[in-house]
Structure 1
């Protein structure tokens, strides 16, 4: 599977979070660390 750009990854994380996914679910689904999830949610 090709690597997703950071912009698209962050957008996908924010979209899934708005859909009700927990931090842990976001980490597992997107294969990232909790720090990356936090950065995505903190960025605009």
Structure 2
């Protein structure tokens, strides 16, 4: 593997890693929001009864 190839791979990884991290962060936020919403909704339902 030449120096150039190694450098190109590093550039690709450098561009992909933040996207993966961002995607995981959004997923975690969405899961947290959804579970929080469900818990809140169920709590309200229980209080209404």
Tell me the TM-score normalized by structure 2: 0.33
- Per chain length, whose mean CA-contact separation is higher, i.e. which structure has more relative contact order (CA < 8 Å, sep 6+)? 1
Tell me the TM-score normalized by structure 1: 0.36
User: Is the radius of gyration larger for structure 1 or structure 2?
Assistant: 2
